[in-house]
Structure 1
């Protein structure tokens, strides 16, 4: 039977070097998933044996190979034929089996109770948290700066789409979606940390750090894992993130009329 949810992998053409490793590990550690996987891209296509992957290729509709993150997501939503998606990034590399029955149970809970969002990893929502009517879930307090987290999570895309804006980049999306949700009475949920923790009881089991940080490979997240899984990759093309030097040199701040207009749009 076709699942009543899909997988949405948020990506961009410039991160296509992650797709092979990501789907190699996805297929191994989520072998029971038989539904559709939507890979968010601008122009590129991709396939993997045994997986039903649809590349959104949103530039076909936007006319822009540099389609902003917010618009990429909103265009992806139009192609997805289920209300619920499990939202992942292309550098969230699974390293243990996904508990499919638990994921399905949470999907059914979302549909039955019209829930908009469930955070699926400890590194997402920060709290404070409150007990909820659902034993597996905690309610996220509206005081949380990450009431909405773009880490691994479960979305009702027909409901959460109300909070997205097409012009926003990934950082603006996370920041301003939080501001928009906080002004509502909408209830957001996350996993019960007493029940689901990495590594042995994670719902979406990947190392607590993502594979890429500031555009470079995160050595602790990928090198040993890829070697153990027989995944070969040319690390030199991106290089490795080095905390002692890269953290001392934050990305340059961009001051421009375009950015100013973008911020104004987000605040309206």
Structure 2
């Protein structure tokens, strides 16, 4: 990409999720091998490196004598203060890539943000969150209106760094940020968009492809990781975290989603 706006990849994590870092960056290096952007891994005190990747660890608590861990939002705020680029690609440590990043569309979205002064484009929106409004100007984008459920979301997405910081408040969990941040965002006219769900989700082809998400309630989600890690010779001791098991209702919802995608694909041009 030529003349691309300054972008940093922010991998939001915590020291207790250190076991995610090797799998995450192994897959990142595979599926975005020529990533030219700096990568910031948000940690409290720990460091990590991976061959060929420009990873900087935020270590937001390395000089903090307090034994109390900062809140989720305080950690993210401290990390953002270390980043100088105008834009960030926000991802989390269990967004394990399972296919190649579509950098052409990602950079196209970034250029749209630059030219239109958009604040956010979510790259992995799911059904049922909206309502959404198809963009009249950009066919691959849907608008996330002010009154939308989860106007603020933590799936992979491009952000103007200062706008993400604007919506963050101290002493919140990630879940609270999504809910309370969405309520805060309802009062503000801002430009939030996501990928065209009919087009991308219908084909099961994503810009930053991953199963959302690899860890649920602190446990591995088997459909997201086991076959993927085995395919890439990634060894993990699953017994340490154990597996999160879907209940019957969740299994039924997943079944409906999968069949919806298959049905939709039959009618896609």
TM normalised by structure 2 equals: 0.85
Task: Give the corresponding residue for 1:196.
Answer: 200
Where 2:133 maps in the other structure, the secondary structure is strand
| CA displacement at 1:62 relative to structure 2 | 5.2
> Which residue is equivalent to 1:262?
none
The alignment yields a C-alpha RMSD, in angstroms, of: 2.0
Match of 2:168 in 1: 164
Matched, 1:219 2:226: no
Secondary structure of 1:217's aligned partner: strand
Count of residues in correspondence between the two structures: 245
Counterpart check, 1:40 vs 2:4: no
For 1:70, the equivalent position in structure 2 comes to 73
Contact 1:58–1:67 (CA under 8 A) maintained in structure 2: no
User: Is 1:135 paired with 2:139?
Assistant: yes
Q: Secondary structure at the match of 1:74?
A: helix
Secondary structure of the 1:9 match is strand
Structure 2 residue aligned with 1:151: 155
SS across alignment from 2:62: helix
Question: 3-state SS of the aligned residue for 2:227?
Answer: helix
DSSP 3-state at the match of 1:194: helix
Q: 1:26 to 1:76 in 2, by over 3 A?
A: same
Distance in 2, matches of 1:219 and 1:41, equals 25
Higher mean alpha-carbon deviation, 4-13 vs 188-197, is at 188-197
Equivalent residue number for residue 117 of structure 1: 120
In the superposition, the TM-score normalised over structure 1's length comes to 0.85
Partner of 1:175: 179
Give CA-to-partner distance per residue, 1:75-106, whole Å, 9 cap, x none.
11111121111111100110100111111111
CA drift of 1:192 comes to 1.1
TM-aligned CA distance change 1:216 to 1:199, over 3 Å = farther
Please say if residues 119 and 125 of structure 1, whose CA atoms lie closer than 8 Å, have aligned partners that are also in contact: no
- Matched-pair contact (CA < 8 Å) for 2:131–2:149: no
Deviation of the 1:237 alpha carbon: 0.5
**8 Å contact 1:124–1:150 — kept in the other structure?**
no
C-alpha displacement at 1:198, in angstroms? 6.9
Q: Distance in 2 between matches of 1:239 and 1:100?
A: 34
Q: Any idea what the Cα deviations from partners look like across 1:194-231, whole Å, max 9, x if unmatched? A: 33227652111112x31100100101111111001100
Matching residue of 1:237: 240
